[in-house]
Every structure is written in structure tokens, then in C-alpha cells.
Structure 1
Amino acid sequence: MRLSYLTVVAFFTLLTVSSFVPDKQYAQRLGIMSGLGQDSIAHAGGFTMIGESVRKMLAPGVSDEAFNANLKQMKTARCKVTVCNLFFPGNIKIAGPDVVEARVLSYADSVLSRAGQAGVKLIVLGSGGSRNIPAGYDLAKAQTDFIALCKKIGQLGAKYKVVIALENLETTETTFITSLKSAADIVRRVNHPNFRLNVDIFHMMREGESPDEIRAAKGLVGYCEVAEKEKRTLPGVMGDDFKPYFRALRDINYKGLIFIEGSIGNASVEIPGAYEYLSAQLAAVDAEKR
């Protein structure tokens, strides 16, 4: 009997997932921003933590009824929803000349209140569209105003026991804070325990930043994200080497969360493969100091 190509692929996919035994050594550090729709696959692949979006789960636009349904879904999920991203929508400016502070803080208070209720411990502050500043705008003023705003957002984070992690984006995504170095400078000047630095290794690689910038940010890092450089694929798809960045994280004694945020193709293969791939790279770096 001749089997179709899709049948063969499906068979080997099932074989790969069913025979995969995840290494639990890094289960308390590794997570994936895949959403609850991939909860079962992520859990079977070794993950204990998963990421969702503010827009879908926590935003003020989510009705109370829908939020309560989200809470029930998170409670029954196999992976704990520890992190949410996509903090501010593009129509709420957080940097530049069009910031309405009262609107920003009201929105942030609502999101962080719900995050506290849901047990979400960290919100990623990327929001590239929200933080765009116009060409020619006074950069020093943008930074000063943004820092003052982030101090207040950090205070809201403390109120609800949620950490906000400022993400270094790349120049194709925003015009403001496009390097780890510049993000670290903002976090340093905000100087609030609930406002920390997100080391996004994918964006660092895209911008050609050295792992030494992680070492320079010692004491500021509260979170880390990773994906492969060329197409933002999950670790292991293209085989990118993240060890130089993991060495830098080791050198600053960072032992916190490392979440994958990338494009998912064949979830049943790529998600467990990413857990295995990152675990192996972290183990290799850890072994170097033994």
C-alpha cells in the first residue's frame, strides 16, 4: 500500500512527540509565548510555563465575563501563564509628543490589576508602535518623559505584585529604544524593583549587539526572550547558537526565566524540539564552569 506524503509526515511527527522525554532540569526556567491554544503540546514537550497576550487575556477591552472565562482557562491549563506581552495597543502612546499620561496609567492600572488576579507575574513592555517617536523629535526629552512615566508604571506593578520588563526592540519595529544598551540605560534610571530589563536575544542578534551588553546590564535583568535570527523561528529549527548570550547571562548570575517568542510552524515537532535544543545549550554552558 502506498502512503501519501502527508501520512508519512504525520506518522513521524507522532513518533517524535510520543518518544520525546523532556529533561526537567530547566523546566522552571524555560517557557514559550505560544498561547493557551498550544498548552498541551507545550506541556508534553517539557514546558511548565506559557505566555499569552495582554490584548487577549487582560486588557480593559476584555469584558468581565470574558476575563472570568480566561481565569478559568488559565486555572485548568497544564502550563502556568506566567508572562503576558503586547502591553499597550498602538493607539495609546507611551513616548513622544502625544502621550496622555492619565490614559496610560488608567490602562496600565487595569491591566496590572487583572494580571495580579490571574497570577501573571510579568508583563513585557515592547509595544513598538506605542513608543514610536517622530523623526527629529528631541531624544533627550523623549527619554526623560518616558523614564518619569515608567517610574509610575513601576509603582503600579508593585501595587499588584507584577514586574514590568522593558524589551529592547529592533530598528524595523520602533524608533525608540532599539538596543539592549539603551533599554538598560532606561531601566537603570527608572530604578524601580518592579521595572526590569528584558534581554531579547533575537533583537540583539538582529541589531548586531555583543553579548557583552548583557554583562554591562548586570543587576538590571529580570527576564529573557529568545528566537532564531533569520526568520524568528523557534530555537533548533535553523540551529542558531545562543551559547555566547547564555554565557553572558551566566556571568551576571542570571537564573531567571528564558521564554521563546518566535514563529511556530509545525507545533508538535518544533515546540518539544525547542525545549530540548535550549536545554542542551544551557547545559553545555553550565558544564563549562564545572
Structure 2
Amino acid sequence: MFLTFALCVYEKKYMKNCLNWLLCAALVCVLQSNAQTRVPQVGVCTSRSNDALLHNAGYGYIEESVQKLLSPAIGEDTFRLQLAQLKQLKCPVKACNVFFPGNIRLTGPDVNEKQVLEYVEGVMKRAQTAGIEVVVLGSGVSRKLPDNYNKDTATGQFISLCRKMAVAAAPYHCVIAIENLNSTETNFVNTLAEANAIVTKVNHPNFKLTADIYHMLKENESPAELIKAKKNLVHCHIAEREKRTAPGSTGDDIVPYIAALGKIGYTGRISLECRWDDMNKQAAPTLEYMKKQIAASYK
């Protein structure tokens, strides 16, 4: 009888140990699976009118324009109507670009700080209401240096203003992400390295970095700059170099940059900001190309 009892106790302990082992093994599998699926989501910078097309092609989101969706210049009735439209989208709008209109200055002697910060607060308030998480600060005209304006002076002025913009954005839980723009579009902050340096000096959680790979290509900037910018990078734009065509249309010049993103484990969004010959025909194969490059870089 004692032997039978001992065997029962042993069997229960054995079964408990087996169960614990199986649970641990299952947990490891889940964690490994999650790690494998943590790759960048791919979307498109375009009008939300392309929602059905992009959803059918498999894209994850749309990046719209601040000027079309969030600008304080848009009437409240129109904004409310657009909010209702956003709720119907299958590809949600999660980011916006074209932050400032050209008549609002961000550098030079004519900067109106009060105007800038009031505008930022108006955009951020609407961004929170619309569920927008990132607003890209490109705005090449607004940040362009006036003729003969000292670059060092402008840089200090811009950093101070961006820090105040970040403070204004913080209550609305939206991140402003400065974007590098090539020298054919503006004369200020033309490389990812320069943009990253500004983000580092602003040093605020609501002011981060968008890496535009097309502009990096135009400025012959190395993919290694993406690795250096790991700490600040929250968003990406991408297109081929020569004619700003969709990735994979004419070559593989974006491949080393995707590889660099994989190396740093970047898991933010990648927006195709490109020119389409025919989005209806190109959307699906372009996404497949992007998925192929991401899969190769995120092993």
C-alpha cells in the first residue's frame, strides 16, 4: 500500500514537471514567433481615397497630409466629416506629412514663434482626435534659410523652436519626427546625420526622427547613418533614387538601407513616398518586393 502511494506521488510530480516543461516550451515558441513577426509595417503616402486599392493590395496604413486632414485652416464641420470618414477606412491613417504651409517660417528673422506654436497645438489637438501617432516635419519651404542667413544661427534658432514644439505636442501624445530633405528641395538639414544631430540636441520624447531613404540616396548618404540614428528613429519614407519611383521598379538601390534597418531591429513604419506610373498595377507587386527585402533583412 505504501509503495502504491509513493508511486502515485511520484507520478503526480512527474506529470506536474512535464506540464511545466510543456508550458515553458510553448512560451518560448510564442516569444520566438512574436520576435519573428516584429517587422516594419508598410504603408503609402497618399490620399485616403486610395484606401480600398491599398487594402486589397495588403498595405497596413495610409500616411496623409496635415494640410488635407489636420490643418487648423480646415473648418470644424469639414474636420468632423473627415473624422467620420477615417473610421470607415480599412487602411487606417496613422501618420501625416506636409506639416507646415510655406507661409509659416521656421528659420530666419521673420519667425513668428507665437504663430508657430499656436499652429502646432492646433494640429496636435486634431492629430490626437484622429488617432494620428506621428507627424513628419519636412516642410522644406518653411525651414529654408533666407539668403545670407548664418547657418549656425539658424540651427540654434531651429533647435530652440523644435524643443518648444515638442513641449506643445506632448499633451496630445503625438510625436513630431523631423525628416531629412535633399538639397534640391531645401537648403537646411539635408542629411539624416544633420537631422539626427538636431533631434539629439532637442532631447525630447515628442521630437524624433524620420529617415527618408530617397533623400539619403540623393545625397549619397551611407546606410550606416541609419545605424547611428537607431536611438532616435521612429519613422521611415522610401523610394528609388533616380525618379522617385516605387521600390523595385528599376533596381535594388534601397536594399542596403532595408538591411541597415534590419540590423538595428527597427520595427516602426515604412511609408512608400514615391511616384506611381499606375498604382492599380504597381501596388501589390511593390508590396511583395518590400516584404521580400524585409524578410531577407529581419532573419
TM-score (ref. length: structure 2)? 0.85
1:119 and 2:126 equivalent? no
Paired position in structure 2 for 1:6: none
1:183-237 Cα distance to aligned partner (Å, 9 max, x none): 0110000001111111100000011000111112120111111011111111122
| Cα deviation, residue 26, structure 1 | 7.8
Paired position in structure 2 for 1:64: 76
Quick one: which amino acid aligns to residue 185 of structure 2? Answer: E
| Cα deviation, residue 60, structure 1 | 1.0
Paired position in structure 2 for 1:7: none
1:86-121 Cα distance to aligned partner (Å, 9 max, x none): 000000001122110000001111011000000011
1:189 alignment partner, one of 201, 206, 224: 201
1:246 and 2:258 equivalent? yes
Quick one: which amino acid aligns to residue 286 of structure 1? Answer: Y
Quick one: which amino acid aligns to residue 134 of structure 1? Answer: P
Secondary structure, aligned partner of 1:31: strand
Quick one: which amino acid aligns to residue 273 of structure 2? Answer: E
1:151 and 2:151 equivalent? no
Q: How is 1:184-263 mapped onto 2 (pairs within 5 angstroms)?
A: 184-263=196-275
1:34 alignment partner, one of 21, 46, 57: 46
**Residues 265 and 27 from structure 1, CA distance in 2 versus in 1: closer, same or farther, beyond 3 angstroms?**
farther
User: What is the rounded CA distance, in whole Å, between the counterparts of 2:168 and 2:128 in structure 1?
Assistant: 11
User: What is the rounded CA distance, in whole Å, between the counterparts of 1:156 and 1:82 in structure 2?
Assistant: 20
User: What is the rounded CA distance, in whole Å, between the counterparts of 1:236 and 1:247 in structure 2?
Assistant: 15
1:96 and 2:108 equivalent? yes
TM-score (ref. length: structure 1)? 0.88
**Residues 224 and 207 from structure 1, CA distance in 2 versus in 1: closer, same or farther, beyond 3 angstroms?**
same
Q: 8 Å contact 1:45–1:275 — kept in the other structure?
A: yes
| Cα deviation, residue 257, structure 1 | 0.9
Structure 1 segments unaligned to the other structure (5+ residues): 1-24
**Residues 55 and 172 from structure 1, CA distance in 2 versus in 1: closer, same or farther, beyond 3 angstroms?**
same
Quick one: which amino acid aligns to residue 175 of structure 1? Answer: N
| Cα deviation, residue 152, structure 1 | 1.1
Moved more, 33-42 or 235-244: 235-244
The structure 1 segments of at least 4 consecutive aligned residues displaced by more than 4 Å after TM superposition are 25-28
Secondary structure, aligned partner of 2:141: coil
| Cα deviation, residue 135, structure 1 | 2.9
| Cα deviation, residue 265, structure 1 | 2.2
| Cα deviation, residue 238, structure 1 | 1.6
Structure 2 segments unaligned to the other structure (5+ residues): 1-36
1:11-59 Cα distance to aligned partner (Å, 9 max, x none): xxxxxxxxxxxxxx68861111122111011101111211110001110
1:55 alignment partner, one of 63, 67, 77: 67
Percent of paired sites with the same residue: 43
User: What is the rounded CA distance, in whole Å, between the counterparts of 2:229 and 2:44 in structure 1?
Assistant: 24
2:281 alignment partner, one of 239, 246, 269: 269
Paired position in structure 1 for 2:98: 86
Paired position in structure 2 for 1:165: 177
Root-mean-square deviation over aligned CA pairs:
1.3
Secondary structure, aligned partner of 1:74: helix
Paired position in structure 1 for 2:291: 279
1:106 alignment partner, one of 104, 118, 124: 118
Paired position in structure 2 for 1:44: 56
Quick one: which amino acid aligns to residue 254 of structure 2? Answer: F
Count residues in correspondence.
263
1:157-193 Cα distance to aligned partner (Å, 9 max, x none): 2110101110000000001101111101100000011
| Cα deviation, residue 241, structure 1 | 3.3
Q: 8 Å contact 1:229–1:240 — kept in the other structure?
A: no
Secondary structure, aligned partner of 1:91: coil
User: What is the rounded CA distance, in whole Å, between the counterparts of 1:93 and 1:240 in structure 2?
Assistant: 37
